[in-house]
Chain A
């Protein structure tokens, strides 16, 4: 499993109800169901991902996360996970509010745009950064939001929700391995992971 997902998994209490938005082929949910006895549901857009999840015995719905979350009753989940998707969300504030309606907590992770490699590319080369976490060119990137750890902290404060936990991580080898960054995470972390609640 990817390193960021390992960190997220370590934050989830056993036996809880979990909704994973953009769950891909279900690696995180599979791990959580097997090891933490969570009751999990995923949402993803891709038929192949959906099929893989169902084959692995994971409950999953094919659809758009912004629309699919609207159907759930208040506090249906203990955790709603939005991993590596926030940077592609058109209305992050509305989505965040909706997620904290259907879930008691949300776990959000996103690539950190202020990692020093990004800063160097802008400063020395004058180019839009491309890194292994942000591999796209400006004209083909699905990432419509440029987010840094500092930006996100301020954003959560503005919405009135609470950051319960925050971790910066630095990842290598297609993000399979990594370590937690404690010193200067906004400069050194490739991803930020936040636990947010009321």
Chain B
């Protein structure tokens, strides 16, 4: 029987000084919410950073006081699990721009004493990583054994290996991409438009009044379409009707798929901030690690800086970040003589497969981390 880490608690770290952002703005008095599991060893070489996706939080494993639901990656993180807390010191922090304890548009702006709203600077994936770096420094971790993330968490993990190559021994990238595709940007844009079209959005200044729940719910519904797959939808819903024998001939939810999306939308607005959705999806849209032209016109890949060993996994039914995008990333790594392993996992549940119980994925990750543990010993700082 695999065990849980048990009680978990979110802690808060104040960013020292101000954080210089990619848009040349600065974030003042920023806060990072984080959790840790397991123990950092004496050599401080067993730390793993978990990067969460769009709507995640710092609570990746274990149970908060009084809660019946565990953290979002309980299936992967714990004693004897793929990310084994008996061996590794695991850190997970809430991303910049989010609303789960780390500074974001719903946080108080120290300059005004009111919620930032759209006064919060537009951030990038790199900005999220710069903030995480401050936390890792504060935790006195000189080098991470691994950075692990799926989807937008995978983008952060990739960014880590390029921005701080000397601090990352390896990275596990799940269901992610090195550059946001037109399709992914398009879905994000429609979701953002849904939020901004809600009259309650009020140009982002809604924290004193009614929140743009309908807009955010629709945005989440669009998201859920991209997280599933055609096959997953046929399996899960088909054309089955929800709690009725015949069509209602009105605009209630007749079909199960409609009811599912409405439920997901409704559930989401209870825990997530609409402005955070705008900021984080925009950061994902900006993400692009394609080769850049040098002064002499030749191309330079961001991966030429990287030194990490990589494990890349895609899922057959993921149409948001399909296998070909993982392959493009693997190709760039190979061209830069980086050690990379790649596996396309057969899965019918679409993009979200990385969050679901999978013996295959667990075994891949634990095998890869085992090797990283051994190789990092031969490769002292």
Do A71 and B335 touch across chains, with their CB atoms under 8 A apart?
yes
Residues 35-77 of A, flagged 1 when their CB comes within 8 A of B and 0 if not, give: 0000101000001001101111111111100001001110010
B300 CB to nearest chain A CB (Å) = 15
A62 to B312, CA, bound (A): 10
Do A63 and B343 touch across chains, with their CB atoms under 8 A apart?
no
Do B344 and A55 touch across chains, with their CB atoms under 8 A apart?
no
Known: A61-B341, A72-B334. A55 touches B346 (CB 8 A): no
Please tell me if B368 contacts chain A, counting CB pairs below 8 Å. yes
Residue in A57, A61, A76 whose beta carbon sits within 8 Å of that of B330 in the complex: A61
Residue of A nearest to B346 (CB): A47
Kindly list chain B residues whose C-beta atoms are within 8 Å of the C-beta of A56. 367
A51 CB to nearest chain B CB (Å) = 6
Residue in A62, A68, A72 whose beta carbon sits within 8 Å of that of B343 in the complex: A62
Residue in A39, A57, A72, A73 whose beta carbon sits within 8 Å of that of B367 in the complex: A57
Please tell me if B12 contacts chain A, counting CB pairs below 8 Å. no
Please tell me if B253 contacts chain A, counting CB pairs below 8 Å. no
SS of A interface (majority): mixed
Kindly list chain A residues whose C-beta atoms are within 8 Å of the C-beta of B374. 57
Do A59 and B341 touch across chains, with their CB atoms under 8 A apart?
yes
Kindly list chain A residues whose C-beta atoms are within 8 Å of the C-beta of B370. 57
A57 to B368, CA, bound (A): 6
Residue of A nearest to B378 (CB): A37
A5 to B309, CA, bound (A): 27
A47 to B360, CA, bound (A): 10
Kindly list chain A residues whose C-beta atoms are within 8 Å of the C-beta of B330. 61
Kindly list chain B residues whose C-beta atoms are within 8 Å of the C-beta of A71. 331, 334-335
- Sampled A-B contacts (6; CB under 8 Å): A51-B360, A57-B368, A57-B371, A59-B339, A59-B341, A62-B343
- Interface residues on chain B, size class: 20 to 34
Residue in A55, A68, A72 whose beta carbon sits within 8 Å of that of B364 in the complex: A55
Please tell me if B18 contacts chain A, counting CB pairs below 8 Å. no
Kindly list chain B residues whose C-beta atoms are within 8 Å of the C-beta of A62. 342-344
Residue of A nearest to B343 (CB): A50
Do A51 and B342 touch across chains, with their CB atoms under 8 A apart?
no
Interface residues of B (CB under 8 A from A): 309, 311, 327, 330-331, 334-335, 337, 339-346, 360, 363-364, 366-368, 370-371, 374
Residue of B nearest to A56 (CB): B367
Residue in A55, A57, A61, A73 whose beta carbon sits within 8 Å of that of B337 in the complex: A73
B42 CB to nearest chain A CB (Å) = 24
Do A51 and B340 touch across chains, with their CB atoms under 8 A apart?
no
Residue of B nearest to A60 (CB): B341
SS of B interface (majority): helix
Known: A47-B346, A60-B341, A62-B342. A54 touches B335 (CB 8 A): no
Residue of B nearest to A48 (CB): B360
Kindly list chain A residues whose C-beta atoms are within 8 Å of the C-beta of B363. 51, 54-55
A51 to B370, CA, bound (A): 14
A62 to B309, CA, bound (A): 16
Most buried by A among B327, B341, B360, B374: B341
A52 CB to nearest chain B CB (Å) = 9
B172 CB to nearest chain A CB (Å) = 11
B188 CB to nearest chain A CB (Å) = 29
A109 CB to nearest chain B CB (Å) = 25
Kindly list chain A residues whose C-beta atoms are within 8 Å of the C-beta of B371. 57-58
Do B340 and A59 touch across chains, with their CB atoms under 8 A apart?
yes
Do A47 and B340 touch across chains, with their CB atoms under 8 A apart?
no
Kindly list chain A residues whose C-beta atoms are within 8 Å of the C-beta of B331. 71
Besides the known contacts A54-B368, A57-B367, 13 further A-B residue pairs in the complex with CB atoms under 8 A apart = A39-B339, A47-B360, A54-B367, A57-B370, A57-B371, A59-B309, A59-B341, A60-B343, A61-B342, A63-B327, A71-B331, A71-B334, A73-B337
A60 to B312, CA, bound (A): 10
Do B327 and A51 touch across chains, with their CB atoms under 8 A apart?
no
A122 to B335, CA, bound (A): 47
Kindly list chain B residues whose C-beta atoms are within 8 Å of the C-beta of A60. 341-343
Kindly list chain A residues whose C-beta atoms are within 8 Å of the C-beta of B366. 55
A51 to B371, CA, bound (A): 14
A78 CB to nearest chain B CB (Å) = 14
A139 CB to nearest chain B CB (Å) = 28
